[in-house]
C-alpha cells in the first residue's frame, strides 16, 4: 500500500459516459495497482471475467522492473499474463508487428475478455491500443506509460494506430482504455533528451488552456528538471486533467475543440517529416519549434505581441528544447503542412494563440504568409 496519504495515487477521471475511466498518478506504490485495476475491469463487459492478459513492451523497457510489476499485480487478481517484447522505436509501430501480436493472442486462446497492457512509451501505447481495438472487435486495454510524453499525452484520450511506410498514424481508431496507471518514478530511468521531449507537451497545455499552469512551470523549472517527485506528479496530473477535460467534450474530434491540442503540431509534424523520422528532431523537439513558429505567425496576424513569443521561447530554452528550424528547406515544410488532416477546403489550418491559456483553430494565414514565415524561420543554419 502507499506509504502515507500523501503517497496515495492522485486520481484523474476521464468522463466519457459508459467509457469513463480513471488515471492514477503515483510515485511508486505499485501495491495499490490491484485495488485500482479490479473495479476498472469490472466496470466494463470486456473486463469482467478477465483471466488472461498480454503485456506488450519494448526491448528497452523490458530491462526495467515495470512489466514485472504489472505481471505481479495481475497475478494477484488471478489473471495469467504473457509478455511480448518488440524492438524499440517507430519501426515497430506497423501492421507487420500488429499481425505478429494477433498471432500471439490466437496462440494463447485469447478471447474478448483478454486484457492488453501497454507498458512503455508512445509507440507501445499506440501499437498496443491498436491491437486491443482490432482483435476480436475490441479487447480491454490498460495503459502503463513510462515516458513523460506518453504520460501527459498519448496514453490519454483513446487515439490508437499504426504507421504505413510513407504515412504516420494513418491506420487507427479511437479505443479508450479501461484505466491508465502512471508511475512518475519511471521518469528517473529516462534519458535527459526524452524528459525534455515530454516537457514540450507539458508547456503546450499551459499555452492552450491554463495560463496559471504556465506561470507555475516558469517558477518550478529547476525542480522539474531535477526530477523532484512532487513536481513531476503535479505537472503530470495537471496535464492529464487538462487533456481529460478536452477529450470528454470532443472525444472523436467532431466539434473542433480537441484541435486545440494540436498547437505546435502542424509545423512540428512538418519539421519531423522534413528532417526525417528518428533524425535531428524527436517529436517533442519538433513540437517545441512548432510552437515558437506558430506563435510568431500569431504575432504577424496581430493576435499576440512579441512578448508572448519571447516568454514561450525563454521557457522552452530553460527546458533545453530547440526553438529554431534554421537550415531546413521551407518548400518541403509547406508541402507537408498542406497534407495536415486539420486542413479544410484546400486551406491550411493552424492552432494559434490569442493570449496565454487560449488558442483558436484558424485558416486566417494565407499561403504567402506561411511561405514568408518559413523563409524567415529557416534561413541559413548558424555557423
Query: Is there a binding annotation on residue 117?
Result: no
Q: In sequence order, what are the residues at sequence separation of 6 or more whose Cβ sits closer than 8 angstroms to the Cβ of residue 83?
A: 54, 55, 56, 57, 62, 67, 71
Query: Is there a binding annotation on residue 157?
Result: no
Query: Is there a binding annotation on residue 201?
Result: yes
Question: What long-range pairs does 96-100 form, CB within 8 A, spacing at least 24?
Answer: 97/127, 97/162, 98/127, 98/130, 98/131, 98/134, 98/162
- Asked whether 97 and 67 are in contact (CB, 8 A), the reply is no
| Vertex 116: Cα angle to 50 and 151 (nearest 5) | 125
CA of 89: how far to CAs of 59, 97, 102, 329, in Å? 10, 12, 20, 26
Query: Is there a binding annotation on residue 310?
Result: no
Query: Is there a binding annotation on residue 351?
Result: no
Q: In sequence order, what are the residues at sequence separation of 6 or more whose Cβ sits closer than 8 angstroms to the Cβ of residue 336?
A: 269, 270, 273, 274
d(CA 311, CA 249): 30
CA of 100: how far to CAs of 59, 116, 143, in Å? 16, 14, 20
Query: Is there a binding annotation on residue 168?
Result: yes
Query: Is there a binding annotation on residue 292?
Result: no
Residues that are catalytic? 137, 159, 201, 243, 253, 258, 262, 265, 269, 283
Query: Is there a binding annotation on residue 124?
Result: yes
> Which residue positions form the known binding site for NAD(+)?
122-126, 146-147, 159, 168
Binding site feature residues: 122-126, 146-147, 159, 168, 201, 265, 283
Per the annotation, where are the binding residues for Zn(2+)? 201, 265, 283
Amino acid at each position: 500500500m502507499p506509504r502515507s496519504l500523501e503517497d496515495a495515487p492522485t486520481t484523474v477521471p476521464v468522463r466519457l459516459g459508459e467509457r469513463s475511466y480513471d488515471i492514477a498518478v503515483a510515485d511508486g506504490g505499485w501495491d495499490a495497482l490491484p485495488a485500482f485495476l479490479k473495479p476498472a475491469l469490472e466496470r466494463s463487459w470486456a473486463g469482467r471475467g478477465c483471466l488472461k492478459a498480454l503485456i506488450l513492451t519494448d526491448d528497452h523497457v523490458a530491462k526495467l522492473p515495470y512489466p514485472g510489476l504489472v505481471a505481479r499485480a495481475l497475478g494477484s487478481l488471478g489473471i495469467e499474463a504473457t509478455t511480448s517484447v518488440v524492438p524499440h522505436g517507430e519501426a515497430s509501430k506497423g501492421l507487420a508487428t500488429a499481425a505478429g501480436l494477433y498471432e500471439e493472442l490466437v496462440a494463447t486462446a485469447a478471447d474478448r475478455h483478454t486484457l492488453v497492457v501497454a507498458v512503455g512509451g508512445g509507440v507501445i501505447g499506440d501499437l498496443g491500443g491498436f491491437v486491443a481495438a482490432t482483435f476480436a472487435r475490441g479487447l480491454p486495454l490498460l495503459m502503463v506509460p513510462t515516458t513523460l510524453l506518453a504520460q501527459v499525452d498519448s496514453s490519454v484520450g483513446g487515439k490508437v494506430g499504426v504507421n504505413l511506410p510513407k504515412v504516420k498514424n494513418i491506420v487507427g481508431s479511437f479505443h479508450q482504455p479501461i484505466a491508465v496507471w502512471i508511475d512518475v518514478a519511471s521518469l528517473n530511468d529516462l534519458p535527459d533528451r526524452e524528459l525534455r521531449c515530454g516537457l514540450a507537451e507539458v508547456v503546450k497545455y499551459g499555452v492552450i488552456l491554463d495560463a496559471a499552469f504556465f506561470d507555475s512551470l516558469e517558477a518550478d523549472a529547476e525542480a522539474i528538471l531535477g526530477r523532484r517527485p512532487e513536481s513531476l506528479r503535479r505537472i503530470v496530473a495537471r496535464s492529464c486533467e487538462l487533456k481529460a477535460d478536452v477529450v470528454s467534450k470532443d472525444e472523436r474530434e467532431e466539434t473542433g475543440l480537441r484541435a486545440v491540442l494540436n498547437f505546435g503540431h502542424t509545423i512540428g509534424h512538418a519539421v519531423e517529416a522534413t528532417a526525417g523520422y528518428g533524425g535531428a528532431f524527436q517529436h517533442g523537439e519538433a513540437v517545441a519549434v512548432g510552437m515558437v513558429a506558430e506563435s510568431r505567425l500569431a504575432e504577424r496576424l496581430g493576435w499576440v505581441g512579441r512578448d508572448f513569443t519571447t516568454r514561450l521561447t525563454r521557457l522552452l530554452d530553460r527546458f533545453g528544447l530547440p526553438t529554431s528550424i534554421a537550415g531546413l528547406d521551407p518548400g518541403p515544410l509547406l508541402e507537408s503542412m498542406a497534407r495536415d488532416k486539420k486542413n479544410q477546403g484546400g486551406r491550411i489550418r493552424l492552432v494559434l494563440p490569442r493570449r496565454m491559456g487560449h488558442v483558436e483553430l484558424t485558416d486566417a494565414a494565407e499561403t504567402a504568409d506561411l511561405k514568408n514565415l518559413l523563409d524567415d524561420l529557416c534561413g541559413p543554419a548558424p555557423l
